[in-house]
Structure 1
Amino acid sequence: MTEEQPLLAHLIELRQRLLRALIGFFLVFVALFHWSADIYHLLARPLLEHLPAGSKMIAIDVTAPFFVPVKVTMLVAFLLSLPHSLYQIWAFVAPGLYHHEKRLIVPLVVSSMILFLVGMSFAYFLVFPVVFGFMAGVTPTGVAMMTDIDKYLSFVMGMFIAFGMAFEVPVVVVLLARIGVVSLESLRKMRSYVIVGAFVVAAVVTPPDVLSQTLLAVPLWLLYEVGILAVVLMQRGGRGEAS
């Protein structure tokens, strides 16, 4: 009975933390719900700006005009409540971590969240205008470019995830170097393979035009270089503390 009590206490605390995270998300969602249509319009603006004059987006599904803006609002609510949710997770796991583990995890989590948001912003402000401008330019004569709002949401979500994950490259590099999977020298030797791999990944996840592929491949490579620089600074800091 004495061995089960700590486990039960941890499960109760975990439930409380998850409940608080859900409540935080729900409150933000409720606060934004009134502006669901405006939020979706903001998301759709990069495409709307490149549609021919008089063209509009369409909704094929009967319930799409309601549920698609709600989905977008839920995504925004999730992002806005993410710091609160991460704090709840941190408050649960932090007591069981050593001091050096806390020093590693906190910067990694914070930088991961920031880089993911930067990746999404990069896609929205720089990549989407290029992609939709290209699509509008190659639309055959006599074909009306009218995109379904649900399919558009699926497309931008895929692009957000792709660019958000791509911008996590420095975090992955630092983490692999920190746990000893790769060395600084091997990271430098893999540079040429990373450049080729970046263009392969970009060709898979972006539309088939060279400009949009380059807009993903070049940041991937530069972020890899940032990761190498971070490993160099981390190792110098470690030697400074040791001395």
Structure 2
Amino acid sequence: MVNGLAVVVKRMSWLTSLRKDEFHAKMRRFGALNHNNILTPLAYHCRKEEKLIVSEYMPKGSLSYVLLGAKDVVRSNLNWPTRLKIIKGIAQGLSFIHKEFAIYEVPHGNLKSSNVLLSENYDPLLSDYNFQILANPNHVAQALFAYKSPEYIQYQQVPSKSDVFCLGIIILEIMTGKVPSQYLSNNDGGIDIMQWVQTLISEDCALELIDPEIAKDESSIDSMLQVLELGASCVESNPDKRLHLNEVVTRIEEVS
């Protein structure tokens, strides 16, 4: 921009055509959010054929890019303290979203590593939250990651614990450094991170799951295993056995 601010303009073609006043009201609500781990929109453009969201540019890009596609120098900064900081920030941001949008069944709905942006200091900022209220009903299941949860696949339900499932997938992705097949169309590629992690934990081989890049920090292995098992608890197929978000946040905060 002319004032030196760098921004990102994201096209959201799958958003629905709500009444104009409703759409404006919801976008203003997003613009009023204030949390260290939330990417608050700066502006938006709404026409029937075009919907754009304008946000501040985050220099490191997405967590997905930094974790899986960045050059060695950027990725090498993802040591254990940085990864733990990112996990804690994501959990805190999700907790904030759940308080702000508590009236909705699934307050975030699209939490995944490509929707977590990283600041210059590797602080995570959540984006694309609560868009299911704006989404075209015909496209919502394809557009939002919460609809990849086991409860939606089996019962076409997306309760608030679907967000916990999404958080668990991100935690496991950060801890293992692997691409979850759950992110990909028809699970084509990547690794079924739920099955892989749960299998090795049941075989008492959890140490094999940890990304070698951080496993070198032998003094922190116990903390890593603690977070890994917490991530596995978040992706339990049965939502009734899955941890509540408040418990997840509390237990993550206790990790040092």
The TM-score normalised by the length of structure 1 is 0.31
Structure that is richer in helix per residue: 1
Structure that is richer in strand per residue: 2
Larger Cα Rg: Structure 1 or Structure 2? 1
The TM-score normalised by the length of structure 2 is 0.30
